[in-house]
Chains A and B, each alone.
Chain A
């Protein structure tokens, strides 16, 4: 069964460093998303991406964040200068977006630890 994959599973970085989190969505899906979950809290939407551009973003997704689909398979989230409060689990998701089919399938997550 097709699935969303994410690498790395765990990333440790120092405050102020840039990190890139990688995702490979399900191959025939058209919509891509990033969410984050601070430990013990709810899952929060960051950004959605469709047709090679951001379609929606939350207040969390400030200028420190960017997303890119550099090729036909990868979808990346970059944090330019990490802060301690960026420590969280980051989930990538994808959906095919056909009428009536909006299930978002999530990857296993990347745990980002900023020290």
Chain B
């Protein structure tokens, strides 16, 4: 069975601070995909990034960066110089590779980030 754990329920930071959102996953599969989604107060789910299990290279996209470590089953997300517009709930999600025939996303419970001006 798959499981995604986001231990941080809520985080508050002051604008311009850096913040890291933690994600730990469990899966028995050797091929899998990890995702981060953002859910702003308006409610939609916005895709941020996908990582496959074979690619442990960290990625940076503007103020966002992701640290994938298979050894610790973690896929953490860092926002540098946070802004008020970053305030949202962030979900980490996982699905198995296509060989397992399963495409359903398993979501963590989310971390609510509040950036205070």
Per a CB cutoff under 8 Å, which of B52, B102, B107 touches A42?
B107
With both beta carbons as reference points, the residue of chain B lying nearest to A98 in the complex is identified as B98
Per a CB cutoff under 8 Å, which of B42, B47, B52, B98 touches A106?
B47
Point out the residues of chain A lying under 8 angstroms from B91, CB to CB: 42-43
Distance in angstroms between the alpha carbons of A97 and B95 in the assembled complex:
13
Contact A104 B105 (CB under 8 A): yes
B97 to chain A, nearest CB (A): 9
Point out the residues of chain A lying under 8 angstroms from B98, CB to CB: 97, 99, 102
Contact A44 B107 (CB under 8 A): yes
Known contacts A42-B109, A99-B98, A100-B52, A106 near B45 by CB under 8 Å:
yes
With both beta carbons as reference points, the residue of chain B lying nearest to A107 in the complex is identified as B44
Tell me whether B101 is interfacial, beta carbon within 8 Å. Answer: yes
Distance in angstroms between the alpha carbons of A69 and B85 in the assembled complex:
37
Known contacts A31-B103, A42-B107, A42-B110, A108 near B44 by CB under 8 Å:
yes
Contact B104 A91 (CB under 8 A): no
Task: Enumerate B88-117 residues with CB–CB distance to A below 8 Å.
Answer: 91, 93, 95, 98, 101-110
Residues of A near any B CB (own CB < 8 A): 31, 33, 35, 41-45, 48, 55-56, 58, 89, 91, 95, 97, 99-100, 102-109, 111
Q: A91-B45, A97-B103 are in contact. List 14 more A-B contacts (CB 8 A).
A: A33-B105, A35-B105, A45-B106, A48-B104, A55-B101, A100-B52, A102-B50, A102-B95, A102-B98, A102-B103, A103-B35, A106-B37, A106-B44, A108-B44
